[in-house]
Amino acid sequence: MAAEPINVNEFQELARQELPKMFYDFYAGGAEDQHTLKENVEAFRRIMFQPRILVDVSRVDLSTTVLGYKISAPIMIAPTAMHKLAHPHGEIATARAAAACNTIMILSFSSTCSIEEVAASCNAVRFFQLYVYKRRDISATLVQRAERNGYKAIVLTADCPRLGRREADIKNKMIVPPLKNLEGLLPNKVISVSDGGSNLEAYANETFDASLCWEDIGWLKSITNLPILIKGILTREDAMKAVDVGVAGIIVSNHGARQLDYTPATISVLEEVVHAVGGRVPVLFDGGVRRGTDVFKALALGAQAILVGRPVIFGLAAKGEHGVRQVIEMLKNELELTMALSGCPSLNYITRSHVKTEHETPHSML
């Protein structure tokens, strides 16, 4: 029997043992040479701590709010596709874990459980991720269904006019299963296209609206009363445009390194985006988080909360709902310990001075 995992990284191997190779590679893989995939994780290792001592940390409070919703810790569940490929209970199990951990789940547009099924499964605070299709009526219908079913925000994924080249999926001839949210909205022949290799790219090219641009945020705002966050921002220029068009929040993300390889690790551009936004809207962070120390580093560089993607999927594959809960609780426990050892009894105490990035001079040397 496999040993019980004691950190988030160990769930990946459990998931690899549990999943068919095609599905494991789909979840674990990145674009092309997978440089950015590795760098998303490695870049955290180049950030060091500058802890404070003799601070009363007998009680450590991890709680925070995102768009006014209180959560137990600044750790949210990122939108990731097709959870039923990982576990039969799919997104329902993930949502129930989010509710048990008192955090927010962002339901993927490409979920294998419907908007309605997930909403009925538990009382988790849920956001809905949106891709904009060439047929805008499909995207509008999904937004309106999310709003009717109590989802609290729309997360527009904006870095996917076309699908990145994911070579493991091509080798494995990965097939897109029917997506529950699109039943009755798209003909099955579009969903099941397969011309050899991966049909993910063919599916995306058939459906995604590559003409989507900043002016279309106005259209999205016109069809919903929900706050809109933009996911996929990596530059100060795009961060400033997002604020200018009136979004409610920004998610710094390179799509888990699944789109354009050799984009920067998200943690390396977080501070640039935070400075550009200047506190006008919350900045969330996505990419490469595997430890509570990573969460602390992102918070110190200005993120309000972080999103966890692959570790949630690996926990789900290994142990279902319980595995997702374990992943979130492990990160929370590690964050709490990091805060205590850094002299931070609450999130408000975490500042830029608690970390040192490459090429910076330690305070003790000044």
| DSSP letter string, 95-156 | HHHHHHTT-EEEE-TT-SS-HHHHHHH---EEEEEEPPBSSHHHHHHHHHHHHHTT---EEE
pLDDT exceeds cutoff 80 at 136: yes
pLDDT digit string, tens, across residues 88-122: 999 999 999 999 999 999 999 999 999 999 999 99
Q: Give yes or no for residue 193 having a pLDDT over 50.
A: no
Task: Round to the nearest angstrom and report the end-to-end CA distance of the chain.
Answer: 53
pTM over 0.75: yes
Query: Is 253 annotated for ligand binding?
Result: yes
Residue 310 is labelled as binding a ligand = yes
Does the structure show a pLDDT above 90 at 277?
yes
In a domain? residue 3? no
Neighbours of 345 (CB within 10 A): 15
Structure tokens at 29: 């893989």
pLDDT of 165 over the 80 cut: yes
Q: Mapping DSSP to helix (H, G, I), strand (E, B) and coil, where does residue 202 land? A: helix
Q: Would residue 337 count as lying in a domain?
A: yes
pLDDT band at 241 (very low <50, low <70, confident <90, very high): very high
Q: Say if residue 108 carries a ligand binding annotation.
A: yes
Is 287 labeled as ligand-binding?
Answer: yes
Contact between 71 and 64 under an 8 Å Cβ cutoff? The reply is yes
Find the DSSP H helices in the chain.
9-18, 21-28, 35-42, 90-100, 115-121, 136-148, 167-172, 188-191, 200-207, 216-222, 236-244, 266-277, 292-300, 310-342
Please give the pLDDT value at position 365: 43
Q: How confident is the model at residue 362 (pLDDT cuts 50, 70, 90)?
A: low
Q: How far apart are CA 159 and CA 27, in angstroms?
A: 18
| Model pLDDT, residue 181 | 87
288 annotated ligand-binding residue: yes
Annotated binding residue 126: no
Annotated catalytic residue within 83, 87, 255, 354: 255
| φ, ψ for residue 128, nearest 5 deg | -120, 125
pLDDT at residue 123 tops 60: yes
Question: Does the residue 105 lie in any domain?
Answer: yes
Please report whether residue 148 resides in a domain.
yes
CATH number of the domain within which 215 lies: 3.20.20.70
Question: Residue 133 domain-assigned?
Answer: yes
- What local confidence, expressed as pLDDT, does residue 187 receive? 67
Q: Which of 179-188, 205-214, 348-357 has the lowest mean pLDDT?
A: 179-188
Domain total for the chain? 1
The band of 364, judged by pLDDT with boundaries at 50, 70 and 90, is very low
Mean pLDDT of 44-68: 97
Task: Say if residue 231 carries a ligand binding annotation.
Answer: yes
The 8-class DSSP code of residue 58 comes to S
What average pLDDT does this structure show over 151-157? 97
Q: Output the pLDDT for position 279.
A: 96
Residue 366 is predicted with a pLDDT of 43
Q: What is the reported pLDDT for 190?
A: 44
Residue-averaged pLDDT of the chain: 92
- Examine the pLDDT at 127 and tell me if it is beyond 70: yes
Smallest CA-to-CA distance from 81 within 194, 171, 254, 200 is with 200
Is 129 annotated as ligand-binding?
Answer: yes
Residue 362 domain flag: no
The answer to whether position 245 is within a domain reads: yes
Pairing outcome for strands 355-356 and 104-107 = unpaired
Average pLDDT over residues 31-37: 93
Q: Is residue 163 part of a domain?
A: yes
Catalytic residue list contains 255: yes
On whether the CB atoms of residues 334 and 292 are closer than 8 A, the answer is yes
Q: Which domain holds residue 207?
A: 10-357
